[in-house]
């Protein structure tokens, strides 16, 4: 099969790496790709949100199947555009992708269908939101309604912080149209986990739990980012808890989307917080997580492509069980200087050849570019250094050993990826 992979981040490099192992693959294209993906696929200089150009490229190259990595083209309706032309594509259509595209939609869906989540209110005007912020219980969370690259959720511990957050969203319009409406919700206490499931709207295939690290700095300090690292499996989610999440959140969500006439096909990602009152939904995503895809996919021993095709065909229930490497994996994200505010570009990256020599280590490229025979930084999150180990401590050690061999000006990374897992193992 000739496959077109849409996107150019670490998640897409992990997908390209996994897809390239499939005997069903004859040719892999990627748009726009990055310096790492270039080693596996023929890259086209088309951005992931340029839906019409992607459609024309797929027609021209006679692509058999298109796989969409990031959320923006899904929310914009790339699946609708391709499907209407009779072209096969993986991912939810525009109506189903609103589950991630609109926090307001997802929160109202959860309220209507009794899916556990934080209490909330929706505001369309700055003045009304400010009035509520003056009386809401603190701390509180203010979320931009639309897509904000993982940075549109602001935890506010004081009234001033709440007013500032509303100003950022609704006055300064730092998130553009995404901040025209906001959700102000109850702050929940608990440990977080990422639960990803593949679904054809009838059958669910739940993947091993992962845990992301959103904050920029060690100890979950600093501003939120797109994710500074992840590991899989997450010990905080044992088999019993995973079944509970499936029963109380994932299955009801699939049923709710069907009842709303928005059948969901693709990757259903629930960001979960484990509270004293049980697991609750923080947010939904409608694609593989980034960086969660990296540690999940390196553990998948089965061929991914037949699984995605089965979802497209509505035959997920006919697949054999996915086989997993029993070893845990850890991904440490290396970001550029200035991230997440303004990322430095064009810095040469050193040490990648040294890391290639390490066993059970894969460096997934995200914000990189090939320039004059060198790999340089070209975005906020630059690399996702991913390692397997016999246990979580070994995987952590191997990942950071690899990180220590990489260098570029201004690079930053967290030094505590996996620390929460270690605490649970030590108990």
Give Cα separations from 164 to 159, 161, 171 (angstroms): 9, 5, 10
Q: What is the pLDDT of residue 335?
A: 98
Q: Answer whether the bond into residue 233 is a cis peptide, omega within 30°.
A: yes
CA distance 275 to 193: 11
Q: Are 154 and 162 in contact (CB under 8 A)?
A: no
Q: What is the pLDDT of residue 148?
A: 87
Tell me the DSSP string of 60-126: HTT-SEEEE-SHHHHHHTHHHHHHHTT--EES--HHHHHHHH-HHHHHHHHHHTT--B--EEEESSH
Q: Please report the domains of the chain, with CATH numbers, ordered by start residue.
A: 2-93 (3.40.50.20), 125-180 (3.30.1490), 191-318 (3.30.470.20), 329-426 (3.90.600.10)
Q: Are 64 and 1 in contact (CB under 8 A)?
A: yes
- Pairing between β-strand 329-335 and β-strand 221-224 as defined by DSSP bridges: unpaired
CA distance 313 to 23: 19
What DSSP character marks residue 264? -
Strand ranges of the sheet holding 42-43, from the earlier edge strand across to the other edge:
42-43, 27-32, 2-7, 65-68, 89-90
Strand partners, 376: 348, 369
Q: What is the pLDDT of residue 149?
A: 77
CA distance 212 to 122: 27
Give one word for 277, left, alpha or beta, with left for phi > 0 and alpha for psi -120 to 50.
Answer: alpha
Going residue by residue through the chain (427 aa), what tens digit of pLDDT does each one get? 999 999 999 999 999 999 999 999 999 999 999 999 999 999 999 999 999 999 999 999 999 999 999 999 999 999 999 999 999 999 999 999 999 999 999 999 999 999 999 999 999 999 999 999 999 999 999 999 999 877 788 999 999 999 999 999 999 999 999 999 999 999 999 999 999 999 999 999 999 999 999 999 999 999 889 999 999 999 999 999 999 999 999 999 999 999 999 999 999 999 999 999 999 999 999 999 999 999 999 999 999 999 999 999 999 999 999 999 999 999 999 999 999 988 999 999 999 999 999 999 999 999 999 999 999 999 999 999 999 999 999 999 999 999 999 999 999 999 999 999 998 876 5
Q: What is the pLDDT of residue 9?
A: 97
- Greatest extent of the chain over all pairs of C-alpha atoms, in Å: 60
The sign of the dihedral angle between the CA atoms of 240, 245, 250, 253 is positive
Q: Which long-range contacts (CB under 8 A, 24 or more apart) does 149-154 make?
A: 149/226, 150/214, 150/224, 150/225, 150/226, 150/227, 151/175, 151/223, 151/224, 151/225, 151/226, 151/340, 152/103, 152/178, 152/179, 153/224, 153/283, 154/224
E-strand stretches of 132-264: 140-144, 153-156, 182-186, 191-199, 204-206, 211-212, 215-217, 221-224, 229-232
CA distance 55 to 66: 10
Q: What is the pLDDT of residue 256?
A: 98
CA distance 403 to 393: 15
The Cβ of residue 359 has, within 10 Å, a number of other Cβ atoms equal to 7
- In degrees rounded to 5, what are phi and psi of residue 423? -65, -35
Strand partners, 7: 32
Q: Which of 186, 177, 176, 181 is nearest to 156 (CA)?
A: 186
Q: What is the pLDDT of residue 426?
A: 61
Instruction: Give ∠ CA 28-30-34 in degrees, rounded to 5.
Output: 125
The Cβ of residue 258 has, within 10 Å, a number of other Cβ atoms equal to 13
| Helix, strand, coil tally for the chain in percent (to 5) | 35, 25, 40
Burial grade of 88 (CB within 10 A; 0-12, 13-18, 19 or more): middle
Burial grade of 372 (CB within 10 A; 0-12, 13-18, 19 or more): exposed
Question: How long a stretch of residues is the chain?
Answer: 427
CA distance 234 to 269: 15
Q: Are 197 and 250 in contact (CB under 8 A)?
A: yes
């Amino acid at each position: 099969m000739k496959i077109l992979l849409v996107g150019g981040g670490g998640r897409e490099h992990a997908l390209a790496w996994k897809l390239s192992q499939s005997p069903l693959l004859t040719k892999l294209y990627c748009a726009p790709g990055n310096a790492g993906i270039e080693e596996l696929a023929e890259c086209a200089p088309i951005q992931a949100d340029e839906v019409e150009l992607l459609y024309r490229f797929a027609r021209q190259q006679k692509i058999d199947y298109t796989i969409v990595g990031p959320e923006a083209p899904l929310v914009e309706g790339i699946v609708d555009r391709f499907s209407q032309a009779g072209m096969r594509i993986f991912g939810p259509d525009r109506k189903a992708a609103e589950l991630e595209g609109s926090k307001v939609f997802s929160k109202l869906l959860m309220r209507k269908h009794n899916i556990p989540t934080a209490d909330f209110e929706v505001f369309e005007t700055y003045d009304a939101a400010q009035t509520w912020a003056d009386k809401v219980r603190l701390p509180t969370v203010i979320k931009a309604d639309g897509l904000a690259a993982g940075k549109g959720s602001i935890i506010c511990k004081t009234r001033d912080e709440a007013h500032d957050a509303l100003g950022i969203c609704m006055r300064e319009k730092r998130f553009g149209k995404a901040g025209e409406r906001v959700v102000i919700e109850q702050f929940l206490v608990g440990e977080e986990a990422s639960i990803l499931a593949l679904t054809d709207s009838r059958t669910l295939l739940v993947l091993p739990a992962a845990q992301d690290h959103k904050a920029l700095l060690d100890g979950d300090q600093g501003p939120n980012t797109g994710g500074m690292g992840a590991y899989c499996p997450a010990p905080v989610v044992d088999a019993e808890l995973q079944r509970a999440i499936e029963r109380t959140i994932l299955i009801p969500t699939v049923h709710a989307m069907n009842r709303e006439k928005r059948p969901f096909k693709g990757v259903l990602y629930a960001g979960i917080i484990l509270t004293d009152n049980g697991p609750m939904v923080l947010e939904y995503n409608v694609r593989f997580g980034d960086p969660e895809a990296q540690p999940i996919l390196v553990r998948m021993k089965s061929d991914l492509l037949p699984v995605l095709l089965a979802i497209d065909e509505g035959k997920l229930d006919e697949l054999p069980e996915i086989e997993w490497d029993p070893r845990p994996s850890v991904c440490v994200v290396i970001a550029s200087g200035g991230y997440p505010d303004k990322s430095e570009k064009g810095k040469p990256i050193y040490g990648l050849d040294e890391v290639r020599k390490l066993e059970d280590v894969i460096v997934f490229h995200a914000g990189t570019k090939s320039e004059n025979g060198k790999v340089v930084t070209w975005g906020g999150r630059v690399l996702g250094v991913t390692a397997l180990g016999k246990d979580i401590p070994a995987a952590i050690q191997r990942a950071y050993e690899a990180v220590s061999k990489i260098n570029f000006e201004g690079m930053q990374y967290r030094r505590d990826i996996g620390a929460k897992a270690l605490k649970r193992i030590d108990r």
